[in-house]
Amino acid sequence: MENAQLRIAVLEALKAAVPGAVNDQMRDSFLAGGLNIELARLEMDSLARMEFCIAIELSTGVTLVPPQLAELGSTDAIERCIREQLG
């Protein structure tokens, strides 16, 4: 999976989990590779974390579980984790 595809998958998962949390400027910066979003800033509840993990699995085939999100903490860390699992 290419970097751009992976960033789109993470962005789409964020949009599914926390609608409205990512504005157009954040989206553009994120897709350009310049923005690393701290998950704590999004104040995701347990349902949002689950929705994020499901969206990631559907788009990448990589399984993440909600407790991992707290450990990973940011979108950059999530991307690294997914790349490692994809090999």
pLDDT grade, residue 51 (50/70/90)? very high
Q: Does residue 7 have a pLDDT over 90?
A: yes
Q: What is the pTM of this model?
A: 0.92
pLDDT score, position 56:
97
Q: Does residue 34 have a pLDDT over 90?
A: no
Q: Domain spans of the chain?
A: 3-86
Burial 33-56 (b: 16+ CB within 10 A, else e): eebebebeebebeeebbebbbebb
